[in-house]
Amino acid sequence: MTTTPMRIVHCVRSPIGGIFRHIRDLATSQAAAGHDVGLICDSSTGSAFDNQLLEELRPKLALGLARFPMQRQLTIKDMSATLSLYRHIRDLKADVLHGHGAKGGAYVRLIGSFLAMRGQKIARVYCPHGGSLHYDPNRLEGRVYHALERLMGRLTDGLVFVSDYEASAYESKIGLPRAKSRIVYNGLLPEEFAPVEVPDNAADFLYIGMLRDLKGPDLFIEALYNIRLKNGEAPKAHIVGEGPEEDRYRNMVTRLGLERAVTFHGALPAREAFKLAKTVVIPSRAEAMPYIILETVAAERPLIATRVGGIPEIFGRYAHRLVDPGHIGKLTTAMEAAIEDPAKMTKEAGELRGCLAETFSVDLMNDRITTLYQDIKGILPADGAVPVTTDSASAASRAQAVYARSSNR
C-alpha cells in the first residue's frame, strides 16, 4: 500500500534510551516511505554515544534536526522554550506534529493548537511513553501532572500508546481519551532476532539501562551484595548505561565492597552489551514497553525482569516468571537460581522468543502509526485503500485481548 506523502515533525525532550530508539526507527521508516520528516529535541541531553546516533539520523531528516534547551521539570524557562520551538515549527509547514513523552507532547499540542487557530491544518499526536503516567495520582506531583494531561487532552487529535498497560493507565489516571487512539507496540528490526552467543568466560549478570532509580540499578547492586553475604563471594557483573544518578551507584558499589565484582561501562549497543554476561537483569520499578526487554528476548538471552508496565504483555503465558517490582528478596532469589541452573535459563530464553517477530515489528509499528495520521487528517492512501482504524477501547476489553494473546503464546 502506497501512502500520500506528509510532512511529519517529531518532538522529544530527551533523545536517549528507548524513547529515542522508538523515534529513530519510526522516523527512518517514514522517510523511507517518502514522507518529509523532522526532529526537535533538547540541546543539553545526551552522551557522545547518543549524539552519534542523532548524527546518523540527520541525513534522513528532510525537515532537519533542531536542538533547543528543554528542562525536565516544569519551570518558567518552558515559556521561552515554547516560543523558540514555535518559531521553528511555524516555518516547517508540518502536516503532523508528533510529541513523545510529557514535555514533547506538551510542546507540540500547544504549538499545534496555536497554528490551527491561524488556519494551518495540522494533526497533534501524543505518545506518553510512560512519562507522567508513572506518577502516583494520590501525591501532589501526580495530581498536578495528571490535571495538566487532562487539560492537554482537549488539544489532542491522536494518542499512541505503546502497550495495553499504558492505555489502561491513561484511562485510570487521566480519563477516557477524547482523541482517536491506538495501541502500537514498539518494534524491532528483522536482524535483531538473530541469537547472540556469549563466551564461556562471560560475567554472571548484566544490567543495561538508564542509571536512575526508576530502572532499579540500586536493586541490582543490592542483590549482588546479598548473594555475597550468603556465599562469601559476589557474582561478576557489568552495568551498562548512563544517567543522572551514576555517581550514587558507583559510590554504592564502593560502600558495599563490590568494586572487584562490578564493572561500569558507558552506553553500548545492546547486542554488544549482551556478550558481556550470561544473564540480563532488568529490575525496573516502572515501565511502558521497554525496548531492552524486547531486544533481550529477541537475542535469546536469559532474562530476569520485573512485573511492571507492558513487560507481562511481552512475556505472555510466561509472565509468571517475572519478579515483583521493588522486592529485593525475590530478585536475589531469581539471580541465585540463574547461577545454579544456567541450562534452565537458556531453555526458558528459547521458549520466550516464540512469536515475538510477528507482534513486535518495526514495519507494523510504522504502518499503524502512519495510518493513524491519515485517519486524523482524512487522507486516503495513494492507492485509494481505506486505512484500518482502531479507536479507544475500554480497559476491560483490552485486558481480555491481552489474556487471549497470552494464552496463545
Q: Average pLDDT by consecutive 10-residue portion of the chain (409 residues)?
A: 84 94 97 98 90 96 96 86 95 97 96 95 96 94 95 97 97 96 96 96 97 97 98 97 95 98 96 98 96 97 97 95 96 98 96 86 96 88 44 40 38
Please give the pLDDT value at position 8: 98
Please give the pLDDT value at position 309: 95
The runs of H, that is alpha helices, within 309-361 are 311-315, 328-340, 342-353, 356-359
Please give the pLDDT value at position 234: 97
Angle at 190 between CA 293 and CA 313, to 5 degrees: 35
Strands (E), 257-328: 262-265, 277-282, 303-305
Q: Residue 380: how many CA atoms within 13 Å on its side-chain side?
A: 5
Q: Which 8-state DSSP code applies to residue 257?
A: T
d(CA 121, CA 140): 37
Residue whose grid cell is 510504522? 366
d(CA 286, CA 306): 9
Give the 3-state secondary structure of residue 201.
Answer: coil
d(CA 313, CA 319): 8
d(CA 292, CA 271): 10
Q: What is the pTM of this model?
A: 0.88
Residue 238 contacts residue 203 (beta carbons within 8 Å): yes
Residue 22 contacts residue 98 (beta carbons within 8 Å): no
Q: Which 8-state DSSP code applies to residue 306?
A: B
d(CA 341, CA 336): 9
Give the 3-state secondary structure of residue 251.
Answer: helix
Evaluated on CA atoms 56, 61, 65, 71, the torsion sign reads negative
Strands (E), 94-202: 96-100, 123-127, 158-161, 180-183
Give the 3-state secondary structure of residue 253.
Answer: helix
Please give the pLDDT value at position 46: 83
The runs of H, that is alpha helices, within 131-262 are 140-153, 164-173, 217-231, 246-255
Residue 187 contacts residue 364 (beta carbons within 8 Å): yes
d(CA 169, CA 85): 29
Please give the pLDDT value at position 77: 86
Please give the pLDDT value at position 369: 97
d(CA 229, CA 257): 11
